[in-house]
Amino acid sequence: MKHTYLLLSLLLLSGISSAQNKTTIIDSMLHRTNRLGLFKGNVLVVDNGKVVYKGAIGFTDASQTAKLTTAYRFHIGSIAKEFNAVGIMMLKEQGKLSLDDKITKYLTNLPAWANQISIKNLLQYTSGVPDLKWKTVKNDADIWADMQKLEKLDFEPGTQYAYNNSNTFLQRRIIEKITGLTFNDFVVQKMLKPCGMSNSLLDPDDSTPLMAKSYNNDLKQSSLIYPITGWTAVILDDFYKWEKALESFKLINPASTKEILTPFAPNKQCGLGGGSMENNKLIIHEHDGTSLNYQALLTANAALGRTVILMTNNKQNNLYDINRTIQAILDGKPFKQPKKSVLTTFGKQLDSLKGEHIITFYNNLKTKYAADYGFEDEASLNEIGYYFKSKNRIDDALLVFEYNTTLFPTSGNVFDSLGETYYAKGNKEKALLNYKRSLQLDPTNNTAKAFIANMEKK
CA 121-190-300 angle, to 5 degrees, is 70
d(Cα 380, Cα 32) in Å, to the nearest integer? 20
**pLDDT tens digit string along 338-387?**
888 888 889 899 999 999 999 999 999 999 888 778 788 888 899 899 99
154 DSSP β-pair partners: none
| Model confidence band, residue 449 (pLDDT cutoffs 50, 70, 90) | confident
CA 128-133-134 angle, to 5 degrees, is 125
Chain-centroid distance, C-alpha 210: 23
**pLDDT tens digit string along 244-262?**
999 999 999 999 999 999 8
Contacts of 409 (CB under 8 A, 6+ apart): none
Of the listed ranges 18-27, 112-121, 236-245, 292-301, the least confidently predicted one is 18-27
Look at residue 263 and tell me whether its pLDDT is greater than 50.
yes
Q: What confidence score (pLDDT) does residue 8 get?
A: 41
Closest CA to 281 of 310, 307, 305, 249: 249
| Model confidence band, residue 278 (pLDDT cutoffs 50, 70, 90) | very high
Q: Is 10 helix (H, G, I), strand (E, B) or coil?
A: helix
Half-sphere exposure (Cβ direction) of 366: Cα atoms closer than 13 Å: 14
In the chain, what are the domains?
Answer: 77-330 (3.40.710.10), 342-457 (1.25.40.10)
- The amino acid that residue 57 corresponds to is I
Contact 429, 400 (CB under 8 A): no
| Model confidence band, residue 401 (pLDDT cutoffs 50, 70, 90) | very high
The mean pLDDT of 387-408, rounded to a whole number, is: 95
**pLDDT tens digit string along 281-290?**
999 999 999 9
d(Cα 46, Cα 40) in Å, to the nearest integer? 20
> What percent of the chain stands above pLDDT 90?
78
Q: What confidence score (pLDDT) does residue 19 get?
A: 64
Contact 154, 130 (CB under 8 A): yes
Contacts of 392 (CB under 8 A, 6+ apart): none
Closest CA to 234 of 166, 142, 310: 310
Query: pTM of the prediction?
Result: 0.80
Q: What confidence score (pLDDT) does residue 7 get?
A: 42
Torsion of CA 126, 127, 133, 134, to 10 degrees: -40
Contact 90, 255 (CB under 8 A): no
Q: What confidence score (pLDDT) does residue 337 get?
A: 83
d(Cα 163, Cα 82) in Å, to the nearest integer? 14
Closest CA to 400 of 408, 388, 411: 388
Q: What are the angstrom distances between the C-alpha of 332 and each of 11, 138, 172?
A: 17, 49, 43
Residue 360's Cβ-count burial label (10 Å; 0-12, 13-18, 19+) is: exposed
> What percent of the chain stands above pLDDT 70?
95
Phi–psi pair at 50, nearest 5 degrees:
-120, 145
Edge-to-edge order in the sheet of strand 274-278: 50-57, 41-47, 306-312, 294-301, 281-291, 274-278
Contacts of 131 (CB under 8 A, 6+ apart): 162, 164, 165, 166
Q: Is 362 helix (H, G, I), strand (E, B) or coil?
A: helix
Q: Is 435 helix (H, G, I), strand (E, B) or coil?
A: helix
d(Cα 386, Cα 389) in Å, to the nearest integer? 5
Q: What confidence score (pLDDT) does residue 2 get?
A: 40
| Model confidence band, residue 444 (pLDDT cutoffs 50, 70, 90) | confident
Contacts of 216 (CB under 8 A, 6+ apart): 222, 293, 314, 315
451 vs 156, which has greater pLDDT?
156
d(Cα 162, Cα 429) in Å, to the nearest integer? 22
**pLDDT tens digit string along 7-63?**
444 333 444 446 669 999 999 999 999 998 999 999 999 999 999 999 999 999 999
First to last CA, the chain: 68
The mean pLDDT of 327-340, rounded to a whole number, is: 89
Q: Where are the alpha helices (DSSP H) in 36-118?
A: 81-93
